[in-house]
Structure formats: C-alpha cells, structure tokens
Structure 1
Amino acid sequence: MTERKPPGVSFESWTDKQIREAEARGAFAGLTGAGKPLASLNTPYDELWWLKGKMQREGLSVLPPTLALRKEAEDTLEAVAEARSEQQVRRLLGDLNAKIEAAIRRPPQGPPLNLAPFDIERLVGEWRESRPAPAQEPPPESESEPVAAKRRRWWGRRAV
C-alpha cells in the first residue's frame, strides 16, 4: 500500500519521488514487454481500442442475429455433408429449420435473413446419393464351416 501524500507537497513532485524510489528498488526491472515498441504505436486512434483488443484476446465476435444464423446455416450444411447417419442429418436440419422459422417470425435484427427453411427430404436424398454404396458381404466359402467360427468378432480372436 502506498503512503498518503503529505500536506504541502505538490502531487507532481510527490509522484515523481514515488517513481524514483520504485526505480531505485528495482520494481520496474523485468517487466514483460520491457524494451519493446508499443504494438499500437503506428495505428490510428480508436476510442474502442480496449474493447476490440479484449474481444480479440477472448476470441469473441458480435454479429447481428441474421448474419449469425446465415453463418450457422453454412456450417450446418457442411456438417450434413460429413454426417454419419440419416438420423444425424435429420436432427441437424430440423434444429436449423426451427431457428430459421423463429427468425422469420420476429422482426428483422440487422440485414435481411434471405433464408427459407430447408427441404429436409431433398437434402437427405442428396446425402444418401453422396454416400458410397454399402459393401456386400461375400457369400460363405463353404457350408461345412461351423457357424460359431463365422461369427467370431475381433475381440474374440486370440493370438495363438
């Protein structure tokens, strides 16, 4: 805790004295960024510099709700292309359609949405067509092979 300014001493001389004493004690030695130029030295002045810096450090962004929903729609369509099951595709598109319908019902917040709910059946059909055909199991080589040997799973195999 710092001491109070004594009466009769100007703030400037009292502050300078505090700084000089701290330098003598080595309080300013080894500070991060010592001897490096300021990062914002050549940038124009911005009143919200601290807010923009905080958002960048925290990885935050603020988009109008309509733009955020457009971005979410793009991301969802990419996720649909990589989905593993038809049920997952339907769930992704159903959730997105619910959000789009809610956004259409409320007053616009930002630029126009320019989205309509997606046709789930059409997109599921396209998803099915983009998948490779399921591999057919080869017919059994011989009928004399015991059924238990055919059905052995990978965890049932043991090194002999």
Structure 2
Amino acid sequence: MVHWYESSIDRQMREATERGEFDGLSGAGKPLTGYGEEYDEDWWVKDWLRREGGAAGVIPASLAVRRAAEDLPAAVGRFTAERAVREHVAELNERIDKARRGLIDGPPVVLPRFDADEVVEQWRARRTTTR
C-alpha cells in the first residue's frame, strides 16, 4: 500500500501554480545566478554591493571624498553647463573641508581644495577636443 503525503507548503505551492501565480515571472526559465560555479563565502556581500550600486555606502566617508577627488575629471566631463561644473566643485570642496576637519567618519584626508576656474578651464578644453 502506497501512502502519499503532501505537506501544507507543498499544497500551497501546488495550488498557487495551478492558479497561475508563478506565470510570467522575470526569471522564469533562466538558470539561477552562480549555479554551477565554485562556492564563494562572500557571495551575499558581493550580491548586496551589486544591488546597492557599489561600495559607496560601505566605505568610510573620507575615502569616498578621496575617490570623488580622483574621479573629478570624469565627473565634470558628464556635465553640459559650466554652472553645473562649478556647483560640483563647490560641493566637493565642502566635503574636502569637512574631511580635513574630521567632521566625517574615516581616516584623515589631506587633499587640496580644487580651483573652480581651473577645473572649468580643463572642462572647456576637453569639450572642444571631443567635438
């Protein structure tokens, strides 16, 4: 004599499938991310960073300021107006000042303030060469 047992979870899944509640899901028919790859202990951290848009919220604010200073040419290169470039430089200089005074978390930062006129000049030069 064969006994068939269906747990309450199995029953709920079967009934939801019969109602079509799983039809049209975005990942339907696709393999699971990372399936078949070697196990990585930090998979959840990497996945979280990917979902949250990188490590911006994870690294100390003082290091984020340093990164923003290094990325300044690329950042202003996306702007189309001089006013936006000047505002970005002013905001970055304000963050640098806070980092120098130790008002944000992380190791101390020794960065020079940026001259908005020089940054605008370099921005203009790059725009004329790319046109």
CA distance in 2, matches of 1:58, 1:22: 34
Q: Which has the larger radius of gyration?
A: 1
Q: 1:69 to 1:22 in 2, by over 3 A?
A: same
Deviations 1:17-47 (A, max 9, x none): 9449827x73687474455433222241436
Q: TM-score, normalised by structure 2?
A: 0.52
Q: TM-score, normalised by structure 1?
A: 0.45
Where do 1:22-33 residues align within 5 Å? 22=14, 26=18, 30=23, 32=25, 33=27
Q: Verify: 1:74 aligned to 2:66, yes or no.
A: no
Identity, in percent, stands at 29
Q: 1:114 to 1:34 in 2, by over 3 A?
A: same
Which contiguous aligned blocks of 4+ residues in structure 1 show a shift greater than 6 angstroms? none
Shifted more, 37-46 versus 63-72: the winner is 37-46
Q: Which residue does 1:57 correspond to in 2?
A: 51
CA distance in 2, matches of 1:38, 1:124: 51
Aligned CA-pair RMSD: 4.3
Unaligned runs of 5+ in 1: 1-12, 133-160
Larger relative helix fraction = 2
Deviations 1:33-68 (A, max 9, x none): 45543322224143662x543442343533221221
Q: Which has the higher relative contact order, 1 or 2, with Cα contacts under 8 A spaced 6 or more apart?
A: 2
Where do 1:8-157 residues align within 5 Å? 13-15=5-7, 18-19=10-11, 22=14, 26=18, 30=23, 32=25, 33=27, 36-41=30-35, 42-46=37-41, 49=44, 52-61=46-55, 62-78=58-74, 79=76, 84-85=81-82, 90-106=86-102, 109-110=105-106, 113-118=109-114, 120=115, 124-125=117-118, 127-128=120-121, 131=124
Aligned length: 114
CA distance in 2, matches of 1:90, 1:20: 59
